[in-house]
Amino acid sequence: MKFVGRPSNRVARSIRRIPVLGPALLQPLGALGFIIVLLFVLTTILAPWIAPYNPIKQDIKQLLKPPSVQHYLGTDYLGRDLLSRLVYGSRIAISAALPTIAIALVGGLFLGLLSGYVGGWLDNVILVMLDSIQAFPGLILALAILALLGPSFRNIIFVMGLAFIPGYARVTRAQVLSVKKNDYIEAELNLGASSARIILMHVLPNILGPLAILVAMDTPVVITFEAGLSFIGLGVQPPNPSWGVILSDGFKFINRSPYPILWAGLALMITTLGFTLFGETLRDVLDPRLSGTRGL
Amino acid sequence: MLLYLFKRLGMTVLVLFIVMVFLSILVQFVPGDAARSLLGPRATEDQVLKIRSLMDLDKPVYIQVAHFVWNTLHGNFGNDFWTGRPISSYIRDVIGHTAALAFSSLGLAVLLGIPLGVYSATHPNSWLDRILAVISISFITLPSYVAGLFLLLVFAVRLRWLPAMGVGEPGNGVDYLRHLILPSVALAITWIGYLARLVRTSLLEVLNTNYVRVAQAFGLRDRVIFYKYALKNALIPTVAVLGVGLGSLMGGAMFAEVIFSRPGMGSFIYNAINARNFPMVRAGVLVIAFMFVAANLIADFVYGWLDPRIQLGETRG
């Protein structure tokens, strides 16, 4: 924060004033992360204009071609343009991540408030539920359910949402407990304040910061989760160009062309790195206490 | 201590029970006739009847659950639908390979991650520390299947230095190790980055404590302070995390096993899914959940034993 107290640096000061995001944008790695995230979002929005070809159009005369002037990143085993598939793949990534995070956020907030605020036996029941969900590595839980119910997009979102709920519930619960300990809450309750008022006025404002960090940190995890499921064949189904599907197609022809794996792998790598850099900087700026608590 | 131990154990038993019940009633959520949709459209009427009785699907739900829990507790996952061989014997055949993979990955992570973290903490904000910070984050965020595919592409397909598939000839130890290298590295990368950061953070914290400052005031040499006092305490959180790591590596081994065509718990589940063999999927998933929970429990106890302060506080945050 070396810009503070240097009135000449107007740009830095106005960036600082952007609510929530501002301080993070002044850190080099945070800014880099933000740019990557921004490019990713732009790609999802502008996909039809960026992609030179239809992502599922096959061309049997152009199988597994290396990068060229016609196909900037080459083609896959059905002669589909890899750049177009990657670009549209970003849409699948985001359309899986957003509803998943939304489910986890709403579900986790609800369970966390309930268990933290009401407490008692309900708290214990909810904790045991969360523990049971977390008894599985996330991927394995998803496999068990998807193997049975089938990998429809709705099921994938549901399963991933379920796997991410405990994180949000625990953060919410911890915040509720720490707010509830304050004397002013006791005072306000004695003055006749309703629970709804306590939750809205005191608990929620305290939860928003940690939850925002969690969302930023979880988005890349959900994206790699979806791509991983799709790679195994239990996620988004071909011919849809999920990055995981591109990897899985590339894996089958790994001896003939490295490009599908190379590009899709890089896309995943850069996107997750961007979100994580941004999320971590956000966390360090918003809540230094949490620093280093979540690295996975 | 004893109370904490019992509470934690009781909780674990309860969780495992819920996990078993959950896996056995999961089949109720299959739309339509479960037996028929498990087997797929080409199943014959005989097969449908057979799997229905094999999985107790013709009995009331509470009997299904009771049977499943009872059998599981006796290490009995039933016989495979197609071959008639006990499912547990399949698992016994492959679980060693997954354990070898998980342990070698964890070993790699410790051997590389801890020294990197120590270097960063002793040279904070040096240029190498900054570079290592970015590398660690990249390692942490790199999905293990991308790492695996890249390694396969470079070292097996292009350079042909290391084998791409399987576990090597039976009985040939050197060959086994050669086959273990790429999958272990793929799986370890995340944990190398994670341990490097964790060690850096906790070591920096310890180096700022009063007892280190007192030791400096007493004129102890930096090296003595560092290795005799600081590092020991700084590694406590790391040791605790390793248990969690072992559990999640067992679960995360699936991608490495599929990519490098290794036998193991992950590829066992993967193959069972592709064969629409749900009893096998369920058994594999359950075994991994048990190992995962056990590893977490052990990690908790080791942590409590190494750092007696934590028993006083809440066990769950």
Predicted TM-score (pTM) above 0.95: no
Mutation to test the A interface, candidates B12, B29, B145, most A Cβ within 10 Å: B145
Chain B residues with beta carbon closer than 8 angstroms to that of A273: 137-138, 141
Task: Note the pLDDT of residue B111.
Answer: 95
State how far the alpha carbon of A239 is from the alpha carbons of A67, A88, A143, A244, A259, in Å.
Answer: 21, 12, 21, 11, 18
The answer to whether residues B280 and B201 touch, using CB atoms and an 8 Å cutoff, is no
- B130 by Cβ neighbours in 10 Å (0-12 / 13-18 / 19+) ranks as middle
Task: Note the pLDDT of residue B314.
Answer: 44
Chain B residues with beta carbon closer than 8 angstroms to that of A220: 141
Global ipTM: 0.86
pLDDT in tens, B178-196: 999 999 999 999 999 999 9
Q: How far is B34 from chain A (nearest CA, A)?
A: 9
pLDDT in tens, B88-107: 999 999 999 999 999 999 99
Subunit contact A132:B18, Cβ cutoff 8 A: yes
Subunit contact B281:A174, Cβ cutoff 8 A: no
pLDDT band at B1, cuts 50/70/90?
Answer: low
Mutation to test the A interface, candidates B146, B250, B282, B316, most A Cβ within 10 Å: B146
Task: Report d(CA B84, CA B79) in Å as an integer.
Answer: 5
Task: Note the pLDDT of residue B310.
Answer: 58
Task: Note the pLDDT of residue A264.
Answer: 94
Task: Note the pLDDT of residue A4.
Answer: 47
pLDDT over 90, % of chain B: 30
Subunit contact A261:B149, Cβ cutoff 8 A: yes
pLDDT band at B309, cuts 50/70/90?
Answer: low
- Dihedral sign (CA B223, B224, B227, B229): negative
Chain A residues with beta carbon closer than 8 angstroms to that of B253: none
* pLDDT tens track, chain A, 296 positions: 444 445 456 777 777 777 666 666 777 888 899 999 999 999 999 989 988 888 888 888 888 889 988 888 988 888 899 899 999 999 999 999 999 999 999 999 999 999 988 888 999 999 999 988 888 888 888 888 888 888 888 999 999 999 999 999 999 999 888 888 888 888 888 888 888 888 888 888 888 888 888 898 899 999 999 999 999 988 898 888 999 999 999 999 988 999 999 999 999 999 999 999 888 888 877 765 554 443 33
pLDDT band at B316, cuts 50/70/90?
Answer: very low
Of residues B137, B278, B293, nearest to A273 (C-beta): B137
Q: Give the residue from chain B lying closest to A280, CA to CA.
A: B137
DSSP B209-276: SHHHHHHHHTT--HHHIIIIIIHHHHTHHHHHHHHHHHHHHHHHHHHHHHHTT--SHHHHHHHHHHTT
Of the ranges A26-30, B163-167, B267-271, the best mean pLDDT one: B267-271
Of residues A129, A144, A295, nearest to B282 (C-beta): A144
Nearest by Cα to A246 from A98, A107, A55, A104: A55
The answer to whether residues B280 and B93 touch, using CB atoms and an 8 Å cutoff, is no
Subunit contact B278:A143, Cβ cutoff 8 A: no
Task: Report d(CA B248, CA B124) in Å as an integer.
Answer: 30
Task: Note the pLDDT of residue A287.
Answer: 65
Name the DSSP letter for residue B308.
Answer: G
